Amino acid sequence: MLRLVLQRLALLVPTLLGLSVLLFLWVRALPGGPATALLGERATPAEVARVNALYGFDRPLPEQYLTWLGQLLQGNFGVSTRTGTPVLQEFWLRFPATIELTLMALLFAVGVGIPLGYLAARHQGRALDHVTVGVSLLGVTIPVFFLAFLLKWVFAVQLGLLPSAGRLSSSMIATHPTNFYVLDGLLTREWDAAWDALQHLVLPAVALGSIPLAIIARITRASVIEVQNADYVRTARAKGLRPSRLRRRVVLRNAMLPVATTIGLQVGLLLSGAVLTETVFAFNGIGSFLATAIFSLDYAVLQGFILFIAVIYALANLAVDVSYGLIDPRMRAR
């Protein structure tokens, strides 16, 4: 197992290197340039050239790339051309919010999706099954931003049960050593702050997690139905296994393999979906920052953020591969 992890981590290096080249070229292929975005349409060529020289954008591309790569290896992600702050500093400010939101959404999707799919499979063809299939279809078809507005309107505006925007109530004064607000509250024992942050997470997480939930529920349902009809389940029944053991050990465990794959794929969807959800709930994550970075062609920010997302995505899928091995011994041999 350790061997697999090390192998995969080693494979990550060439993957990221290749991605960095593509990313570097892609960002520069966008129309316009950071200098024009910074100085506006009426900037004189001389001014543009000055800004380009300042950031080194006048150097040959290979040289620019190598400089960037060299800095990356030293942990320097460059400086934002728009705000002038180091990219890394922006990371620590905003990424925790997005990760917190993504994790909550994933937790919601997995925590509700798997039991829902399992129950639907057990009651295949009956009312609960039809409801689940219908709801999951609805979950996939409703656009995230629409669901987000709907949730906000019902639960925050009409019922007033949950906060409608932001990461923390404005009246709440708390310290933030890690910028993961819930974690901060727990670490500093400011329980009320943790609770408040958690409440702020609920609606965005539900909105963001709805599509993954629907997909996970459907895959779980299909997978459980398939496993239920497998020969070894019949044999397990024939040998007199207790129903509880049959469900846990035989059906559920065997059905989890395709579900694990799906969950890994959802992480990417969640990260990209977070941008929209954050906007609706005025959640100060990377979403809005990334959007402005695209419009202002903030090379360093774009490159750094996307690379970072790629690493998270790769690690999430590595976690999925490790979970394969835990679920299914046949995967360990490879």
Partner 1 sequence: MDAVDGPLLSIRDLDVGFRTDQGTALAVRGASFEVHAGETVAVVGESGSGKSTTAAAVVGLLAPNGSVTGGQIHFQGIDLLRAGRAGIARVRGKEIGLVPQDPMSNLNPVVRVGRQIAETLEDNGVVRGPAARRRAVELLDEAGLPDAAARAHQYPHELSGGMRQRVLIAMGLACRPRLLIADEPTSALDVTVQRTILDHLDTLTADLGTAVLLITHDLGLAAERADRVVVMYRGEVVEQGPALDLLRSPRHEYTRRLSAAAPSLASARLTPARPSPPRDAPDTPDNIVEVDGVTKVFRLRGPGLLGRGRDLTAVDDVSFTIPRGTTVALVGESGSGKSTVARMVLDLLTPTAGEIRFNGRAVSGARRDRAAEVRFRKQVQPVFQDPYSSLDPLYSVHRTIEEPLRAHRLGSPDRRRERVEELMDAVALPLDLLRRYPGELSGGQRQRVAIARALAVDPDLVVCDEAVSALDVIVQSQILHLLADLQQRWGLSYLFITHDLAVVRQIADEVCVVQGGRVVESGPVDQVFEAPREGYTRALLDAIPGRSLDLGARSG
CB of 332 to partner 1, least distance (A): 9
CB of 10 to partner 1, least distance (A): 8
Rounded CA-CA distance 329/203 in Å is 39
What tokens does 287 get? 């979403």
CB of 83 to partner 1, least distance (A): 43
Say which residues have a Cβ less than 8 Å from residue 56's Cβ, sequence separation at least 6.
64, 67
CB of 215 to partner 1, least distance (A): 24
Interface pick for partner 1 out of 67, 89, 175, 234 (rule CB under 8 A): 234
Nearer to partner 1, 281 or 324 (CB): 324
Nearer to partner 1, 7 or 272 (CB): 7
Interface pick for partner 1 out of 136, 254, 296, 323 (rule CB under 8 A): 254
Neighbours of 45 (CB within 10 A): 8
By the rule CB under 8 A, 242 interacts with partner 1: yes
Residue 251 has what DSSP assignment? I
157 and 164 Cβ atoms separated by less than 8 Å: yes
Residue 327 buriedness (CB in 10 A; 0-12 / 13-18 / 19+): middle
**Of the ranges 13-21, 137-145, 241-249, 292-300, which one interacts with partner 1 (CB under 8 A)?**
241-249
Q: Which of residues 275-334 bind partner 1 (CB under 8 A)?
A: 327-330, 333
By the rule CB under 8 A, 130 interacts with partner 1: no
How many alpha carbons lie under 13 Å from residue 57 in its C-beta half-sphere?
Answer: 23
By the rule CB under 8 A, 249 interacts with partner 1: yes
Amino acid making up residue 271: L
Nearest in space to 194 (alpha carbons), one of 202, 179, 183, 208: 183
Rounded to the nearest 10 degrees, the angle between the axes of helix 87-122 and helix 127-141 is: 150
**Count of positions (residues) in the chain:** 334
Nearer to partner 1, 10 or 46 (CB): 10
CB of 248 to partner 1, least distance (A): 11
Rounded CA-CA distance 146/190 in Å is 34
Nearer to partner 1, 57 or 324 (CB): 324
Interface pick for partner 1 out of 25, 235, 282, 295 (rule CB under 8 A): 235
CB of 305 to partner 1, least distance (A): 31
By the rule CB under 8 A, 231 interacts with partner 1: yes
Rounded CA-CA distance 334/329 in Å is 10
By the rule CB under 8 A, 42 interacts with partner 1: no
Say which residues have a Cβ less than 8 Å from residue 4's Cβ, sequence separation at least 6.
321, 322, 325, 334
Nearer to partner 1, 99 or 230 (CB): 230
Residue ranges with strand state E in 83-205: none
**Of the ranges 110-118, 212-220, 229-237, 264-272, which one interacts with partner 1 (CB under 8 A)?**
229-237
CB of 260 to partner 1, least distance (A): 13
CB of 245 to partner 1, least distance (A): 6
Nearest in space to 259 (alpha carbons), one of 327, 315, 314, 311: 327
Interface pick for partner 1 out of 53, 245, 248, 282 (rule CB under 8 A): 245
299 and 28 Cβ atoms separated by less than 8 Å: yes
Amino acid making up residue 95: F
Helix (H, G, I), strand (E, B) or coil at 284: coil
Interface pick for partner 1 out of 241, 294, 311, 320 (rule CB under 8 A): 241
Helix (H, G, I), strand (E, B) or coil at 79: strand
Q: How many chain residues touch partner 1 (CB under 8 A)?
A: 25
Nearer to partner 1, 38 or 225 (CB): 225
* Site residues for partner 1 per CB under 8 A: 3, 7, 229-232, 234-242, 245, 249-250, 253-254, 327-330, 333
